Amino acid sequence: MSTPAVWRSLGAVDARNVSRDPMLWWILVLTPASGLLFRFVVPAVAGALGERFGFDLEPYYPLIVSVLPLAVAGMVGAVVGFLLLDQRDDQTLSALLVTPLTLNDYLRYRLTAVLLASIALTSVTVRLAGLRETTTLQLAVTSVVAAPLAPIYALLLGSFAANKVQGFALSKAIGVVLVPAIVSWFVAAPWQYAFGVIPHYWPMKVFWLFDGGRAGAALAHALIGLAWQGLLVAWLGRRFARVVRQ
C-alpha cells in the first residue's frame, strides 16, 4: 500500500480515536503547557531556595531543561502506546494481516508519526519554558535525539502490557528509568558513560554539551544515541509484531 494512502487512512482513524478519548486529548494539550509551568515555577523555586537557604539553583538549569524533551517524548509515546493497546484489544491490528495494509506499513506509519509529533512538541515546549537560551541547532538536535524515546515507550506498552491497567502501571515503571539519567549529571567522565545504556541519557548529554559550547562533541553523542535507540526500536518493533501475530 502506498505511503500517502496509509497516512490518509490511518491518520483519520487516529484523529477520531484521540478526539473521543479525553485522557489522550488532555495529554496532548497539557504536554506543551508543561513548558509554561517550568517558565514560572522554576524561577520562583530558585528565588525561594536562594532567600531561605542561600542555594543557587540556576547552575542546574541545563539539567532541569534537559528533562523536558524526555518528558515530552514519554507523554507522546504513552498516547500512542494506549492507542496500540486499544487497537490490539479490538482486533484491529489482527485484521491488518488480511488487508492490503500490512503490519509493516502500519508500524512505519505509527513510528514515523510519533517521531514527528515528539520533535514538534519538544521544540514548542522547550521554547515555552524559556529557562535557557537555546540555539536552533541545539534545540533541533536535542529534539531529534529525544524523539526515539516516544516509539520506545509506545512499543513497550504495546508489547508488554495486556490492557490499559497494566499499561498505566508499566508507564509509571518506565518513568523510574529517568532517575539514573538525572543522576548521571553529578557523575564525572568517564564513569558517566556507564549511564549510556539508558536511552534517556543521550538526549540529556547532547543538550548539556551544546549548553557548554561543545557543539562538535554534542553531534558525535547524538549519533551514538540515535544508533543505540534505533537498535532498541528495531528490537521492540519485532517483538510487537510477534505479539500481534499470536
Most confident of 32-46, 164-178, 221-235: 221-235
Is residue 24 within 8 A of residue 82, CB to CB? The reply is yes
Residue 19's region, left for phi above 0, alpha for psi from -120 to 50, else beta, is alpha
Sign of CA dihedral 114, 73, 198, 65: positive
Question: How many Å apart are CA 218 and CA 144, to the nearest integer?
Answer: 12
pLDDT tens, residue by residue, 3-58 = 666 666 666 666 666 666 666 677 667 777 888 888 899 999 999 998 888 899 99
Residue 241's pLDDT band, with cuts at 50, 70 and 90, is confident
pLDDT tens, residue by residue, 113-137 = 889 989 999 999 999 888 888 899 9
SS3 75: helix
CB-based contacts of 60: which residues, under 8 Å, 6+ apart? Answer: 185
pLDDT tens, residue by residue, 47-88 = 999 888 889 999 999 999 999 999 999 988 988 888 888 777
* pLDDT of 1 strictly over 60: no
Cell reading at 27? 495529554
Sign of CA dihedral 140, 143, 145, 147: negative
Measured CA distances, 65 to 34, 42, 242 (Å): 11, 10, 37
Question: How many Å apart are CA 25 and CA 22, to the nearest integer?
Answer: 5
- The pLDDT of residue 31 is 78
CB-based contacts of 121: which residues, under 8 Å, 6+ apart? Answer: 28, 31, 32, 72, 75, 76
Q: Where are the domains of the chain?
A: 3-245
Residue 214's pLDDT band, with cuts at 50, 70 and 90, is very high
In this structure, which amino acid lies at residue 47?
A: G
Is residue 147 within 8 A of residue 118, CB to CB? The reply is yes
Cell reading at 120? 514538534
State the pTM of this model.
Answer: 0.89
Q: What is the mean pLDDT of the segment spanning 105-109?
A: 82
